[in-house]
Amino acid sequence: MPRKIRFDDDRFTFVGHRTPTPTTISDITTRVINGRYFLRPSGVSKDIIQGVLGRAQSLWDFDIHGFHVMSTHWHLLAGFRSVRQRARVMRFVNGEIARRINRLLGRRGPLFERRYTTIQVLNDAHALERLKYIMSQAAKAFVVGHPADDPFACSTPTLLSGRPLRGTWRSAMETTRYTVEISPLPGLAHLSAAEHQQAMRGLADDIAREQRQRRKKASRRLQGARAATSLDLWTRQPDAAPTPAPPVHGTRAQAKKWREAYGRARDAYTEANIAFRAWQLDQGTPLIPWPPGTVPPAFADDAFSRPAGASARASP
């Protein structure tokens, strides 16, 4: 079964915080291969991950509204100016995290399962809902009772108290300290820093109250932060019943509009691909632009800028 095309509906945009330009908000999840605990929290791993995120922000200047790195997967809620920017950021971030965590663990091979999954967020209410979900990760896993006690690399300290999140980027040429800037959601951008932190503390208290009731109903005890940091890296997380992810986070009417737009973009993308394959055989064949809101295939990315008569070879 082919993968879905990477697509954002630019009718559902927000004003960016770092750069006041139209952005789309993406809810992104990346899973560790085979459910291993390779992202187990430690001072070194948190420094690495936050250094990579800070480096990425310095290169592409995008908004991070929230993130959370569990041992077996990690979440990112971020605003991007285009699908292409998101693709480049995620290729860099996941690639660098994988390379550096592998080096830390003394292992080789892939760290993450295939490509990340991304879901477009269409309105302010659902954006806040996704941020709450990201903040609740450690409490939902029965690690801690309140997000303020979260031991994982995450945006919660900045959201609750304004504490800066710093990490280190090390390369052969430089060692640089970066601060991961957490941007308020567009729907909360009118709040002062103090008001925003108060709103986030209220959200965290709601999470603690809801998870306390859930924990009591399930007769579960808290594992504690120490247990999370001492997990066996090579243990495989038990497979849970898969829950289908929604195509988008939005109202029913918005989701319908998005699906219709996705269908049109998918058909146009297929048509452009067919035309490009025909152009490879006969360069007198006209090329068709890939539809807006998508990312052309890597092997055809510069087809329109290639001089006449130049060859284009599809990647395997």
CATH code of residue 107: 3.30.70.1290
Number of residues in the chain: 316
Task: Look at the chain and report how many structural domains it folds into.
Answer: 2
Give the predicted TM-score (pTM) of the model. Answer: 0.92
Shared domain check, 274 and 181 = no
Tokens of 155: 């945006």
The one-letter amino acid at 259:
R
Residue span of the structural domain in which 172 resides: 14-231+245-250
Residue 176: exposure state from Cβ atoms within 10 A (0-12, 13-18, ≥19): middle
Contacts of 87 (CB under 8 A, 6+ apart): 6, 295
Shared domain check, 220 and 96 = yes
Shared domain check, 202 and 56 = yes
196 is a domain residue? yes
168 is a domain residue? yes
First to last CA, the chain: 17
Tokens of 159: 């959201």
Shared domain check, 78 and 35 = yes
140 is a domain residue? yes
pLDDT in tens, the chain (316 residues): 467 899 999 999 999 999 999 999 999 999 999 999 999 999 999 999 999 999 999 999 999 999 999 999 999 999 999 999 999 999 999 999 999 999 999 999 999 988 899 999 999 999 999 999 999 999 999 999 999 999 999 999 999 999 999 999 999 889 999 999 999 999 999 999 999 999 999 999 999 999 999 999 999 999 988 888 888 887 777 766 667 889 999 999 999 999 999 999 999 999 999 999 898 899 888 988 889 899 888 766 554 444 444 443 333 2
Q: Which residue has the tokens 């130049």?
A: 310
